Amino acid sequence: MEPTTFIMFGATGDLAKRKIYPALYNLYVDGKLPQAFTLFGLGRREWTDESFRINVEQSLHQFSRRGAKDAESVKAFVRAFRYSVLDIGREDDYRKLLKLVEGRENELSIPSNRLFYLSVGPEYFETIAANIQASGLGSANGWKRLVIEKPFGHDLRSARDLNRKLSQAFAEEEIYRIDHYLGKPVVQRMESLQQTNPVMQALWTNRYISNVQITALESVGVEERAGYYDHVGAVRDMFQNHMLQLLMMTAIHLPHDSSSEKVRFKKKKVMESLELVQKEDVGASVIRGQYSEGSIQGKPVVGYASEPGIAPSSMNDTFIAARLLIDNNDWRGVPFYIRTGKRMKEKSTKIVVEFKEPVKQPWMKIEEGIEPNLLVIEIGPEESITLQINTKEPGPNGGRFKPIRIDLQAGQADSPEAYENLIGDALNGDSTFFAHWDEVELSWQWVQPILDAFEENLVPLLPYEAGTYGPAASDALLAKDGNHWWFDA
């Protein structure tokens, strides 16, 4: 693995503590960090190398799936960590940082391979990128990479604006946009499901598939994020990024070549084929909801408008369901239903591919228990890929039909977390599971009429009781096509 200097903006923040340091540690334990690896943590707080290391150690104890039990390896790991106070807006601070970084690179006799990780609000991206460029930090004699987190823009226009600014300092192939759903182990295994199974490849078309359901339900509410969430809603927080990424990953065909270029090219093609909806027509295929009071696992919870920090008159969406169509030869006529929401009955992210009903024979009676074949890809909290098929129980008069689920790829007990996969990939320069600008732009393009329709109140905001599966209109959306959401308990 190539020597790397990891330059971490927002080093004292919550995401770094909960996700990034534990992910780096797990990679270290698995021997997946470069031998020559240094992390420069940057923040406004007056920390020292020592206090930074203590904080990192604590975060490993609290959040690493490996529990950081081995004190020796924790100590060895944090030795690679250094801290610098940096004011994001002061170019001078970047020059000082450059000296430190160069000093370390010389000490280790390594090329200047620099990975800049921006775990800060998007309002700082532009200033940071410009200062990296101006200070010389970005003039590496090795490679340079920029890793950024969502949100990538607030709408189509701001996303384009942001991208234009970033691209003044970094080329597209140097930008790694994290969508942590693409790092989830089951999502990463989806391509191999098609590639290694001719059976799946053959079935992956509108000839055999009736509809696809992509669901990400959460039982938590807005939590302590009112200030952020009330401005974005489910549509920007989950739909524009995670949900559309899952749609792309489901709809691509990858029979042979799964290079990063090919995967991203195919995903772009899917987005280009997605039928655009006019603002005036959004209400026919998109449902928006907001949770009202109810109960989650027996515990009463307040409605969204009564949450701390939320104005009682808030029109923000905490639920969205949509029916999308892909206009290409593979998928024409197959509805893709997507839904995501807060304060739902359960935490569950899954993709259900429903196959067309078998040709009915006079001797097959539906009441005998024949169900459609279903491919169920459970992404979280459990991980599994199962196929539901019909069998017939032995018995007098031929017995009854009964669906059974075949486990195609059971989850691993200790599978790596999304951030581990993604940071490992970024260190290796593998951009397959990062969002390319084309995908991001096309996603915003698709979502923009929805944002406009919501803004202008062209779509009713439907209340739904906390602890349910959302407004009844979300069921009606599928019922219109003769379908229903699978596995709502």
Please check if 481 is assigned to a binding site.
Answer: no
Q: Nearest approach, Cβ of 242 to ligand BG6 (angstroms)?
A: 6
Determine if 380 is a binding residue for ligand BG6 (CB under 6 A).
yes
Determine if 188 is a binding residue for ligand BG6 (CB under 6 A).
no
Determine if 403 is a binding residue for ligand BG6 (CB under 6 A).
no
Please check if 284 is assigned to a binding site.
Answer: no
Please check if 180 is assigned to a binding site.
Answer: yes
Catalytic residue from among 61, 154, 231, 242: 242
Give the residue closest to ligand BG6 by C-beta. Answer: 237
Count the Cβ atoms, other than its own, within 10 Å of residue 91: 13
Q: Nearest approach, Cβ of 185 to ligand BG6 (angstroms)?
A: 12
256 is catalytic: no
Q: Nearest approach, Cβ of 237 to ligand BG6 (angstroms)?
A: 5
Q: Which of 105, 174, 191, 218 binds ligand BG6 (CB under 6 A)?
A: 218
Give the tokens for residue 459: 């779509």
SS3 state of residue 215:
strand
Burial class of residue 409 in the structure, from the number of CB atoms within 10 Å of its CB (0-12 exposed, 13-18 middle, 19+ buried):
middle
Please, what is the Cα angle at 42 between 37 and 46, to 5 degrees? 125
User: What distance in Å separates the CA atoms of residue 97 and residue 135, rounded to the nearest whole number?
Assistant: 9
- Per the listing, tokens 């020597």 go with 3
Could you give the residue ranges of the DSSP H alpha helices within 68-155? 71-78, 91-108, 125-135
Determine if 230 is a binding residue for ligand BG6 (CB under 6 A).
no
- Per the listing, tokens 């772009």 go with 268
Q: Which of residues 1-60 bind ligand BG6 (CB under 6 A)?
A: none
User: What distance in Å separates the CA atoms of residue 330 and residue 202, rounded to the nearest whole number?
Assistant: 11
Q: Nearest approach, Cβ of 91 to ligand BG6 (angstroms)?
A: 32
Q: For residue 24, which amino acid is it?
A: L
Please check if 458 is assigned to a binding site.
Answer: no
- Which of 242, 267 has the CB closer to ligand BG6? 242
Q: Nearest approach, Cβ of 221 to ligand BG6 (angstroms)?
A: 10
Please check if 296 is assigned to a binding site.
Answer: no
- Total number of residues that touch ligand BG6 (CB under 6 A): 4
Alpha-carbon dihedral sign for residues 26, 30, 31, 33: negative
Give the tokens for residue 419: 């951030």
Determine if 237 is a binding residue for ligand BG6 (CB under 6 A).
yes
User: What distance in Å separates the CA atoms of residue 392 and residue 370, rounded to the nearest whole number?
Assistant: 9
Please check if 266 is assigned to a binding site.
Answer: no
**Whether 90 contacts 402, CB under 8 Å:** no
Q: Which of 5, 64, 210, 349 binds ligand BG6 (CB under 6 A)?
A: 349
- Which of 131, 349 has the CB closer to ligand BG6? 349
Q: Which of residues 276-295 bind ligand BG6 (CB under 6 A)?
A: none
Residues 6+ apart with CB under 8 A from 403: 369, 370, 371, 388, 389, 390, 391
φ, ψ at 25 (rounded to 5°)? -65, -45
Please check if 44 is assigned to a binding site.
Answer: yes
Query: Binding residues for ligand BG6, per CB under 6 A?
Result: 218, 237, 349, 380
Question: Which amino acids are annotated as binding site, given as ranges?
Answer: 10-17, 44, 87-88, 150, 180, 184, 218, 237, 342, 347
Q: Catalytic amino acids?
A: 242
Question: Which amino acids are annotated as binding site for substrate, given as ranges?
Answer: 180, 184, 218, 237, 342, 347
